[in-house]
Structures are given as structure tokens and as C-alpha cells.
Amino acid sequence: MDLRVTYADGSGADVTVSAPDFVAFESEFNRSVAKLGTEIRFTDICWLAWHRLKRAGETADFDMWLNRLDGVEIQEAAEPVPLGPSLSIS
């Protein structure tokens, strides 16, 4: 999951949430990440972004980080780019 973090001072970061973040989410909230597709909360995406940044050593305390936050957005997956016409071997 790709997220864009924007801070109140106008700075930001793009983060990619991965397996360690999802496992930590399930442990922290006792909820399956499978439910994120149908009942995602803003708190969920904020926590996932924070956890990824925490793992990178860029932040520590969730509440202090949240107080600096302006928003977090889920980034759409890019459409695959065609590589060109298919080649056939005869």
C-alpha cells in the first residue's frame, strides 16, 4: 500500500506499507488487514504510515507525529505500461 503523508508545515513523504507494518497493525488493533478493503478508517491509514516511518527511524511517538500531520492519502496503483506490440515467433 502506497501512502502520501503531508505535514502541517507543507513537507511530506511517500511511504510504502509492507508486511511488517500489516503484521504490527493486526497485533496492535486485533483486526485483520483483510478488512481494510471494506472498513478502512482514517486512523488505520495514519497508524500504518506512522509505523512505516517509525521502522525507518523517522519518528517515534504516534501522538506527537499525529500532531504534526495534515493528512494521509492512499495512492492509486499505477496502471501497467504496455511494453509494445507482442511478438510472435513463426
More reliable by pLDDT, 77 or 2? 2
Judge whether 83 lies within some domain: no
Judge whether 30 lies within some domain: yes
Mean of pLDDT over the chain: 88
Judge whether 33 lies within some domain: yes
Judge whether 11 lies within some domain: yes
Q: How many domains does one find in the chain?
A: 1
Ramachandran region, residue 45 (left: φ > 0; alpha: ψ -120 to 50; beta: rest) = alpha
Percent of the chain clearing pLDDT 70 (strictly above): 84
Judge whether 53 lies within some domain: yes
Q: Has residue 80 got a pLDDT over 90?
A: no
Domain containing 23 equals: 2-74
Residue with cell 506499507: 17
Query: For residue 9, which amino acid is it?
Result: D
